[in-house]
Each structure stands twice: as C-alpha cells, then as structure tokens.
Amino acid sequence: MKTSPLRQQLIDSLTLKGYSPRTIESYVWAVASLADFHHRSPAGLDTQAVRAFLLHLHTHKSYAASTINVIINGIGYFYREVLDQPLGRLKDSLPRPRKVTRRPQVYSVQEVQRLLERGFLSPMHRTLCMTLYGGGLRLGEAPRLKPEHIDSGRRFIRVVQGKGHKDRYTILPEQLLGQLRAYWRAYRPHPWLFPSRQHPHQPVGAACVQKTFIGALERAGLPRKGGPHILRHSFATHHLENGTPLHVIKRFLGHNSATTTAGYLHITRHTLNSVVSPLDAMNLSTPETTQG
C-alpha cells in the first residue's frame, strides 16, 4: 500500500479489533500487493481490478490455497472496515480455492535428538527449538515467551494469547527446564525469553527462526521436511506413540477440536503397526513360479 495514511488506518483498525501482529502483517501485505500490482492506490480500484489481481495470483504464483484465502480476507477487510465500500463484501462472493489436505511430516525421536545435538550454533536458537518441540508450541508462540511464563514449580509453560487469543498451559519437560535454566544463567534475557539480536527489547522474528532452523537441518544432516513448525507436529506424534491420551495432547496443543488433534493418528508407528490386514489372516500357500 503506497498511501501511508491508508496503511496506518488499516493497522489501527486491526489493532483496535484485537487482531494478532501476524494477521495484521498479512493483511497489510495483501493490500500492499494489490496496490503494487496495479501501481495505484487501492482506494481507487474496483471489483474488476481486484479480480484481475486474484486471477494473477492463481495463474502466475504458486501460493497455497490458505495464503490466497488470507489475501482475500485482508483485501475484503480493508474495503469494508477502512474505506466502508461495498467492495468489502467481495470476499463473500469470490470462489475460494480448494484447500488441499496434506498430512504433516515428522521427524523421529532420534532425528530430533540429532538436530538438537548437532544442528545449532546459537544457544538461544537451540533452546528456542527445544521449547517448540518440548512444549508443542507454534512458531508464533515460543518467541513471545517471557521468563515469568516458565512455571518451574508446577512444570508448565504458560502460553499467553496464543492462536485465537487464548491462554493455555503446556508441558515443561525436565530436559527443557534444565536447558532453560542454563540459558537463563548465561544470558539473563529480559523482557523476552528469546530476544531479537538487532532489537533486544523485541522478541526474535519468525523469519530468523526459520532461517536458523533450515541451517540446523543441514548441519545435522537431516532431510528438509518443513519449517520449525514440524517440531510441533513431531511433539504431537511422539506423545501419541508414547500413549499420552488424545484429549491431553489436545489441551497442550491448544486445539479447539479433538478432530484436529486426531489428524496425527495417521502417522504414528503404533497406529500403523497395530493394523492387521485381512490378507495376513489367511493361511495361503505360496505356489512355485517358473520363468519363461
């Protein structure tokens, strides 16, 4: 968005309505991309211009369906809440791209151990990724932890205003607690547990964590299966394999529905290995085969 006052209006509106910093960033980026595509202020665009931009995204960009839906939501919000134009209802009339369901890949326990032992050069990033895995946190949650969110007495991590503006508690493993204590004694971080190197009074950015994570995978000699969020997937899968009840994992992850948590069942070794094929129940003889 080239018009600075409009950008600020959008940011102020989203902030007052309690949207998360990540959503604000995404919506601002969506409207800015629309303006850049047409080389004009978005205030002067019509429905056809917006549709042309979305068609461009479908045909020339490899954005996921979820990303395009965020763009549609952001543009619709801008015209509806900031400019108060009928174009704000555009998001309800546009066909949404069909979302492809992809099951998350995970690393084994041994692979996660290898990553944590060999992958990280920075103690802060190692501790942060241990926290992502040990507590099953989202990428946007771990960097916003403060020292007071670590409840060492009750062995819980308090997640403040996670996804959906909800507070919750998740598990604090003994190994993670020891790492956090050593990290605290060495660096005394404040106010954020994982501060930005360039801006110490702000939490470390997601992009920095992602970049560091990819480098750690290379140093550990592990295949790339995704970004840091895969540690959360691995947390859920490994807990299921260890017999942790589904409803407990659901609370740790902060899911609204157990159906979401149950999606991890398909990749647990216990689930797959416990299934007996009807074919294996048959006592079939193996006929001799001849060549020719």
Question: Catalytic amino acids?
Answer: 138, 163, 229, 232, 255, 264
Sequence-distant (6+) residues with CB within 8 A of 245 are: none
The token pair at 52 is 């042309």
Cβ distance 65 to 100 under 8 Å? yes
Rounded Cα distance between 72 and 69, Å, is 5
Rounded Cα distance between 235 and 249, Å, is 9
Question: Which residues are 159's β-sheet partners?
Answer: 168
| Cα 134–chain centre separation | 16
Question: What are the DSSP E strand ranges found in the chain?
Answer: 150-151, 156-162, 166-171
Alpha-helical (H) ranges within 143-205 are: 174-187
